[in-house]
Structure 1
């Protein structure tokens, strides 16, 4: 009976790992298109992770965040990165490992002296730009914010701010710098006005809930090896 059980497990594992893994992401500092390929430090680390796990049958796709998120919520064998880990998302995904710590801040145009945010409730007076299905939209919705203007991608969200279509947007510091450069906007015209401690958590690699546990554990174990060797930190931070 033991031999039969081991044979069944072997067949299960070989079948599981034969299934194609689909990695999905959005345009960020850590994942982006370069010469027609998905690149960036998080993508480089992901490839190292999957290689260490012995996985070769996978694809990597860059989509608007809402599409990537929907796929990861509803399909098996979907890997999503980078994604903020929050209490509300905890049971929706199978978490692999943390890429880097994050801290979000509200930004405004410096010219708007009248916009003052000393606490989270103050911000409810203003129109805030967010990205569809992003952690910032989810968090502000949970905090009973009603004046949210939703964009599909971070570039569109940033344009809403610099075109004065919204009053405030939540950003990472490095995202603000990158978007200013990308859109040829003078970053000295921005002002950071409030830190969103409620969602300043780490960026992670995660797998869809219906992804088989043996596959999850194989990827998670490989990630822990890379982390122990210092390769997670080295790979993510080398281009910062």
Structure 2
């Protein structure tokens, strides 16, 4: 017969398992066009979609928090009951998360400061000679590293990246046009001071909501069904089409 210590350990493990399955969901994201602070609350179209998905799935015990992207990403990699967005769905990440649904699909572009005629990119490999700003653990960093890019300047977020471009600390910045316009607006810079030099059509942003791998399957399935209903109703497209 099992001794008392073994029974106690089994009971503790069972309680821990139940707690992790029933725990509150932590929604993590970064400051971006999808999520931002407004009147001390996290707002934005991505936030709205995440919240409506969880509510539609009757998963009402959740909190939404802004982190630097690398920290949000690490939490979603290693902790249970974490919902992360905007997460690019890439082959390298496919088995590391439980995917809920696609919010948006847009191409990234390489931008330089207008008037810098020393920079010319006809094919992607031409860009290897220039310093390029990327966000730590972002899909663009991984994509460029896999293609042999070595002059990558890693930042905590896109705001730092954008400021480095303005300060001539980097020469190129990969970013979707809508994000570049938002960064220009936030920093009171004319968007036309940027110039697109190359479009990364081969690596479009497939922006998703995704759960951490250790999140219980029943939670993920409920969220997936709720998201599918939200998207079929046209709400996802409508929300993403709204201006900040």
TM more than 0.5: yes
> Which of 147, 152, 159 in structure 2 is aligned with 1:148?
152
Find runs of 4+ consecutive structure 1 residues off by over 2 angstroms. 14-18
Measure the CA separation in 2 of the matches of 1:144 and 1:237.
35
Secondary structure of 1:201's aligned partner: strand
TM-score (norm. length: structure 2): 0.90
Q: Match for residue 14 of structure 2? A: none
Secondary structure of 2:37's aligned partner: strand
Q: Match for residue 52 of structure 1? A: 56
Q: Match for residue 133 of structure 2? A: 129
Residue 42 of structure 1 and its aligned partner are, at CA, apart by 1.0
> Which of 81, 93, 99 in structure 1 is aligned with 2:97?
93
Q: Which deviates more from structure 2 when the two are superposed, residues 119-128 or residues 229-238?
A: 229-238
Secondary structure of 1:111's aligned partner: coil
8 Å contact kept, 1:110–1:189: yes
Q: Which deviates more from structure 2 when the two are superposed, residues 197-206 or residues 85-94?
A: 197-206
Note closer, same or farther for the CA distance 1:219–1:16 as it changes in structure 2 (3 Å cut): farther
Note closer, same or farther for the CA distance 1:147–1:215 as it changes in structure 2 (3 Å cut): same
Question: Which blocks of at least 5 consecutive residues in structure 1 are unaligned?
Answer: 1-13
8 Å contact kept, 2:21–2:215: no
What CA RMSD, in Å, does the superposition of the two structures yield over aligned residues? 1.5
Measure the CA separation in 1 of the matches of 2:106 and 2:22.
35
Measure the CA separation in 1 of the matches of 2:179 and 2:234.
24
Question: Which blocks of at least 5 consecutive residues in structure 2 are unaligned?
Answer: 1-17
Q: Deviations over 1:121-169 (max 9, x none)?
A: 1000101111111111111111110001111111110011011111101
TM-score (norm. length: structure 1): 0.91
Q: Match for residue 238 of structure 2? A: 234
8 Å contact kept, 2:21–2:216: no
Secondary structure of 2:125's aligned partner: helix
